[in-house]
Structure 1
Amino acid sequence: MMRTSLTVGFLGTGIMGSPMVRRIAGAGYRVAAWNRTRDKAAPLVSAGVGIVDQARDAVCDADVVVCMLSSGPACDSLLLGERGIIAAMRAGSVLIVMSSIPVDTAQRHAHAAAAHGIGYLDAPVSGGERGAQDGTLAIMAGGDADVFERSRALLQTMGRPTRIGPAGTGQLAKLVNQMMVASTIATVAEAMLLAEQGGADPAQVRAALLGGFADSTILRQHAARMITRDFTPGGPAKYQVKDTKTALAFARNVGLSLPVLGLVDDLFSDMVEHGDGELDHSALIRELRRRNGLPDS
């Protein structure tokens, strides 16, 4: 492992953040991590990560700060204001917000960072917990090209970074991604249910489709979860709903009607309302079973 002189402050060590921190530390970066619940960050000590009690302690001496919180409001609460993280960072450092947040929120963060002489990228990810563990995340970055190039090596420890355009466009790309993920999960769930109720073995149908035009990561990973009933959250459904609603709101702002996404959002919204929001988004098949009066078996 090659050591680097760069220091990283990492904010948010949840399902995605924790393996991302491990990848960064494993690449030789010095990392100080903070999480609202300290106990959830404690296992990272074995990876050489320093754990701090206050978020400001993770960022005040950092060259790069990575934010991986759950939502736009959570990021706003921590980053902005006179006592926020941006105000605590030193001029010349870089803030990378890897949370999935609204486009206008990312643009607001970029403006606040620039006012303090701080570089900014919005760089949401796709690939789930497995991608975070393996360092194969798709990373969609928005921000100035020079800030992206300064951050490229760090981002590459976590996956494959691509600069989309100016601040906010990383989040726009993530909305496009989430639209496709949510819609595909819904279609795969319907397909597995149809196979089952039609008298075929869903596992054999899935196996037959691999390698064909219907093949996808969703078919490989999420259909398998639907068949085995393993809904341990890699991507909790409550966050999928957050993203579909954000995409619909953005579409309205630019004058678009997205009818397929609207139907998918209704499905996920009902799923969450029925108490399945903490389950993996592949558990959408449970909502389809409910709608069809079928037992969850």
Structure 2
Amino acid sequence: MPLLSPLLHFTSLHRRIRHFHVSTVRHFMAAVEPISPSTTRVGWIGTGVMGQSMCAHLIRAGYTLTVFNRTASKAQPLIDLGAHFAPSPHAVAARSDIVFTIVGYPSDVRSVLLDPTSGALAALRPGGILVDMTTSEPSLAVEIAAAAAAKGCHSIDAPVSGGDRGAKNGSLAIFAGGEEWTVKRLDPLFSPLGKVNYMGGSGKGQFAKLANQITIATTMVGLVEGMVYAHKAGLDVELYLDAISTGAAGSRSLDLYGKRILKRDLDPGFFVNHFVKDLGICLKECEIMGIALPGLALAQQLYVSLRAHGEGNLGTQALILVLERLNNAIEIFPTYLRSEIGLTIALLYQSYLEVFNVVQEKVYTDDADYSDLTYEKEEAKQGVSNNFDMNRT
């Protein structure tokens, strides 16, 4: 019998090693200790509008949390609940088995996770898990997963939808990408936060969230356009919203924001600034994929208009302001606000919002006070223009 060539011998050896590696991993998976409050140390980076509520759910579920936020005062309510504060993302990971992040820009995600000296991955022990819940770039999620795997760790991209109310109520939609068995293992931590939806391999959670943002953006355009049309047609807009809520035009956006718009409640559940960032990432991905989504492009430009008017720190429902300006429409108030007193209160509130936006020296980030840069500076740093094109990030 002829001897095996060196190449065939190497190939055979590689297959045996690979089989051994896979078998070893499977045995390791079976032996992994289940996640529980008594055995699992949880770290959290980013305790802003949503992060704070999400952390609170885990603390109330019995987990020990170590948290970090650039502005330490924003973590104080969690410290009062029993969380420990760490001075850096690196310090968080050194004390944790699983580290969650929900910050601002992709550049923030890269910094808090991958920085070789201060990032979380550098301090995470083999077998540890990174869970990034920031709306970010799919390609970055893949990069983080590869870096984690090289260190014997795991990474899941798990952006969320549902806004501040979903975070407070524990009813978020979680879009998870990465190893399916890791996502399933994380279920005890995901369950207090909302419903997890496994979307596929690394980056697929981010792709799903971006598709979600496209749907929200175009739905919001339809909602506020319908309200302006109804108002101009002489309808009672409040009655109009009630009438369509149970028909084909009913939507989650209508339920969440219709009456908030009527009450002139433009406080953020999700900031306009963040939405501009998300839609910019969507447009960048569209260019890479070679697809045209004109509704997305229009919605993004309308939200850019809000930011240009200094309204980037309002909620996404503030899109009504753009349509009012375009159509020279008076503010759309329900009947009870059309009285002299009600109108005065509403106008005073609007004046407050205008002053509030003028005096802001810092801009909020996705879910942590993470960047001292303005959104315009951050986009300039990434080489992005405010002009309408398919290269926005």
TM range (shorter): over 0.9
| Per-residue CA distance 1:238-278 (angstroms, 9 max, x = gap) | 11111111111111111101111111111111111111110
Instruction: Give the whole-Å Cα distance in 2 for the aligned partners of 1:33 and 1:73.
Output: 20
Instruction: Give the match for residue 91 of structure 2.
Output: 57
8 Å CA contact 1:61, 1:90 repeated in 2: no
In the TM superposition, what is the alpha-carbon distance from 1:111 to its structure 2 partner? 1.2
Q: Which has the higher contact order (CA 8 A, sep 6+)?
A: 2
Paired AA for residue 234 in structure 1: G
Gaps of 5+ in 1: none
8 Å CA contact 2:90, 2:121 repeated in 1: no
- Of 172, 175, 181, the residue aligned with 1:137 is 172
Instruction: Give the match for residue 337 of structure 2.
Output: none
Residue 194 (str. 1) matches residue 232 (str. 2): no
Instruction: Give the match for residue 46 of structure 1.
Output: 80
Aligned pair count reads: 296
Name the SS of the counterpart of 1:161 in structure 2. strand
Q: Any residues of structure 2 matched to 1:1-297 within 5 Å, and which?
A: 3-83=37-117, 84-296=119-331
Instruction: Give the whole-Å Cα distance in 1 for the aligned partners of 2:296 and 2:221.
Output: 10
8 Å CA contact 1:5, 1:30 repeated in 2: no
Report the TM-score, using the length of structure 2 for normalisation.
0.73
Change (3 A) 1:203 1:259: same
Instruction: Give the whole-Å Cα distance in 1 for the aligned partners of 2:283 and 2:92.
Output: 35
Identity of aligned residues (%): 35
| Per-residue CA distance 1:196-215 (angstroms, 9 max, x = gap) | 12111111111111221111
Q: CA RMSD in A?
A: 1.3
| Per-residue CA distance 1:178-211 (angstroms, 9 max, x = gap) | 0001111111011111111211111111111122
| Per-residue CA distance 1:71-121 (angstroms, 9 max, x = gap) | 211111111132121111111110000000011111111111111111110
Instruction: Give the whole-Å Cα distance in 1 for the aligned partners of 2:242 and 2:87.
Output: 48
Instruction: Give the whole-Å Cα distance in 2 for the aligned partners of 1:238 and 1:287.
Output: 15
Gaps of 5+ in 2: 1-35, 333-393
In the TM superposition, what is the alpha-carbon distance from 1:295 to its structure 2 partner? 4.5
Name the SS of the counterpart of 2:309 in structure 1. helix
In the TM superposition, what is the alpha-carbon distance from 1:296 to its structure 2 partner? 4.6
Report the TM-score, using the length of structure 1 for normalisation.
0.97
In the TM superposition, what is the alpha-carbon distance from 1:31 to its structure 2 partner? 0.5
Paired AA for residue 74 in structure 1: D
In the TM superposition, what is the alpha-carbon distance from 1:46 to its structure 2 partner? 2.6
| Per-residue CA distance 1:154-179 (angstroms, 9 max, x = gap) | 11111100111000000000001000
In the TM superposition, what is the alpha-carbon distance from 1:65 to its structure 2 partner? 0.2
In the TM superposition, what is the alpha-carbon distance from 1:56 to its structure 2 partner? 2.0
Instruction: Give the whole-Å Cα distance in 2 for the aligned partners of 1:273 and 1:34.
Output: 32
In the TM superposition, what is the alpha-carbon distance from 1:19 to its structure 2 partner? 0.1
Could you say which structure has the larger radius of gyration?
2
In the TM superposition, what is the alpha-carbon distance from 1:14 to its structure 2 partner? 0.4
Instruction: Give the whole-Å Cα distance in 1 for the aligned partners of 2:58 and 2:248.
Output: 36
Paired AA for residue 115 in structure 1: A
Instruction: Give the whole-Å Cα distance in 2 for the aligned partners of 1:4 and 1:100.
Output: 30
Instruction: Give the whole-Å Cα distance in 2 for the aligned partners of 1:62 and 1:77.
Output: 18
8 Å CA contact 1:226, 1:283 repeated in 2: yes
